[in-house]
Copies of this chain bind each other. A is one copy, B any other.
Amino acid sequence: MSYELYYWAEIQGRGEFVRLAFEYSGTPYVDVARSPGGMKKMFSMMKRGGPFAPPFLKSGRLVIAQTPNILLYLGPRLGLAPESEARRLWLHPLQLTIADCLVEVHDCHHPIGAGLYYEDQKPESKRRAVNFRSERLPKFLRYFDQVLRHERRFSYVNLSLFQMMEGLDYAFPRTMARQRVPALRRNQERVRDRLGDYLASRRRIPFNRQGIFRHYPELDAR
């Protein structure tokens, strides 16, 4: 059985958290929207009772929506999470908290509406970014650094925290240079080493100004 991932072809975005699980575990998958005719297929799956939004995964006859839910499903199957319910109930809310952080990162450049251009909400973005950098970002980072200090087993959450840090470094380089989060940094280096082939491949879409993590210098610290 092959896995089919449905996600936007031009960005890392939320789909990247699923791609990383496949790539790290060496699991074959089809990145549907990046294949010929794939975008059309993705849109047709979203009609009539389909998912609200990408990413979603097709696994046999199942269609599984929402990134944290996809990772909940894939974790034990890809060797990236134990089967036990107690462990699942601990890892999954960590992924949900990462998802919460992603929304706040996205809203730094889209505080008024996701359907508007950044250029149409720049003053609001600046205010939001100041608040995010000073209040929310340190809180999330402190929390996850402390979590990693006590985690002994590698899981899909380690991959997601790698991706979160890579994105934050891209979007807010000056702010991130000042954060002291040694466990998050160790995890980031470790995962980056192991994902070397993927990260150097064309399968890894570069960060850009269409995804969640965007580098606008005016939104970073001075």
Using CB atoms and an 8 Å cutoff, list the residues of chain A in contact with chain B. 49, 51-53, 62, 64-66, 68-69, 72-73, 86, 89, 92-93, 96-97, 100, 103, 107, 111-116, 121, 124, 127-128, 131-132, 135-136, 140, 143, 146-147, 150
Task: Find the B residue at minimum CB distance from A150.
Answer: B49
Q: Do B131 and A116 touch (CB < 8 A)?
A: yes
| A97–B49 CB distance below 8 A | no
Residue of B nearest to A99 (CB): B96
Asked if A113 and B135 make an inter-chain contact with CB atoms under 8 angstroms apart, the answer reads yes
Instruction: Indicate if the CB atoms of A69 and B96 lie closer than 8 Å.
Output: yes
A217, B206: Cα distance in complex, Å = 44
What's the nearest-Cβ distance from chain B to residue A136, in Å? 8
B127 near A115: Cβ-Cβ < 8 Å: no
Q: Which residues of B contact A121 (CB under 8 A)?
A: 127
Query: Is A49 touching B147 in the complex (CB atoms < 8 A)?
Result: yes
Complex Cα distance, B48 from A150, in Å, reads 10
Q: In the complex where A111-B128, A131-B116 touch, is A64 in contact with B51 (Cβ < 8 A)?
A: no
With A107-B107, A147-B49 in contact, do A97 and B66 touch (Cβ < 8 Å)?
yes
